[in-house]
Amino acid sequence: MTERVVIIGSGPAGWSAAIYAARASLEPLVFEGAISEENRIRGTLPLGQLALTTEVENYAGFPAANLTQFLETALPKERRQYMAPHSGHGVTGPELMELMRAQAVNFGTRIITADIVSADLSQRPFVLKTSDDTVVEAHSLIIATGARANYLGLPSEDRFKNYGVSACAVCDGALPRFRNKPLVVVGGGDSAMEEATYLSKFASKVHLVHRRDEFRASKIMAARVLDNPKIQVEWSSAVTEVLGDDQHGVTGVRLKSLKDDSERTLEAAGMFCAIGHTPNTDFLAGQIETDDKGYVVYKTPFRTETSVEGVFAAGDVADSYYRQAITSAGTGCMSALDAERWLASQGIH
């Protein structure tokens, strides 16, 4: 059976698209991503980047409050049992994603926990191949695959991934190897501020390494870092090597001053990269127009249409500017409405 609409991705954009498509009786099929070691390392596990954050303070409709009872009644027990206990003062990223997922399921969304590894957009219906070798045909496609975290690209960094090098403080920061030890965060945007602030709960000290002499982050996020006595900013500096051994993993980093080229070593049990993202569009193999950074380009302003008719994009995969949960959810809604109207124009109901 040819699916009317297939949604690839399981962040705010994907679930919002699923909710709208399901309520329009399109019976959407969502590929939420595979639970695999490769996806864990890349930071592309199901539920998107928001599942890697802590408290979400800026998503409308979730003021600071104890949501324990709501979560217990809204989420399926088989999924709630694997989640962290509720903090009692506002919704977290993983909680928000699980709530969105549950809402999509409530309206009849079907979910497959697998990746789409290739797509043939040259024929109709579109032909998709999954990571478990299943072939799916679809009349329309919503791409909501988001963007993954970037690394520095150092050989020594690759050597110590999962042995002290990470791109997700929330995932790994509380591990015993990092507790009460000095840590390094690389970056200067809001993500780096959040990572450093979160890690300061566990580390003895956090060195925040930034290439410039001022942050790109919002003022409120930067102020939290600068006011935190456990965070030391290493201005105008770059990590040139991750140090360590097979027994202990990361033991430090080599730091180079970008002002005088001097080098020094920082003792650290881990290094966390927070230096931007790369859109997850590899599986499209260049069949859809993207910009020079790989983000999907919208064909028409304020519409989610792509360069291929019947293919729509939502969320961070097409947004290199805002990259917010609420804007992703908004474009998810738009993509479902656009897909519904396009299907109707093709006589597909």
Name the catalytic one among 115, 168, 316, 319: 168
Is 182 found in the same domain as 261? yes
β-strand partners of 183: 206, 270
Is 215 found in the same domain as 159? yes
Q: What is the pLDDT of residue 114?
A: 98
Q: Which residue, among 126, 177, 163, has the nearest Cα to 41 in the 3D structure?
A: 163
Number of alpha helices (DSSP H) and beta strands (DSSP E) in the chain = 10, 17
Q: What is the pLDDT of residue 349?
A: 85
Range of the domain at 62: 3-149+277-346
Look at the chain and report how many structural domains it folds into: 2
Name the catalytic one among 115, 132, 171, 260: 171
Q: What is the pLDDT of residue 241?
A: 98
Name the catalytic one among 172, 316, 319, 338: 172
Q: Report mean pLDDT in 10-residue bins for the chain, 349 residues.
A: 97 98 98 92 87 82 93 95 86 95 98 98 97 97 94 92 86 87 96 94 97 95 97 98 96 97 97 92 96 95 97 96 90 98 96
**What is the residue type of 26?**
L
pTM (two decimals)? 0.80
Q: In the numeric block, which tokens belong to residue 338?
A: 């656009």
Q: Do the beta carbons of residue 18 and residue 28 sit within 8 Å?
A: yes
Q: What is the pLDDT of residue 248?
A: 94
Q: Domain containing 236 — which CATH number?
A: 3.50.50.60
Is 268 found in the same domain as 286? no
User: For this structure, is 171 an active site residue?
Assistant: yes
User: For this structure, is 172 an active site residue?
Assistant: yes
Is 304 found in the same domain as 265? no
Q: What is the pLDDT of residue 161?
A: 85
Q: What is the pLDDT of residue 192?
A: 94
Domain final residue pick, 254, 274, 294: 274
Domain final residue pick, 225, 252, 274: 274
Q: In the numeric block, which tokens belong to residue 115?
A: 């990746």
Is 135 found in the same domain as 8? yes
Is 300 found in the same domain as 269? no
User: For this structure, is 333 an active site residue?
Assistant: no
Q: Do the beta carbons of residue 172 and residue 166 sit within 8 Å?
A: yes
DSSP 113-165: ---EEEEE-SSSSEEEEETTS-EEEEEEEEE---EEE-----HHHHHTBTTTE
Q: What is the pLDDT of residue 76?
A: 95
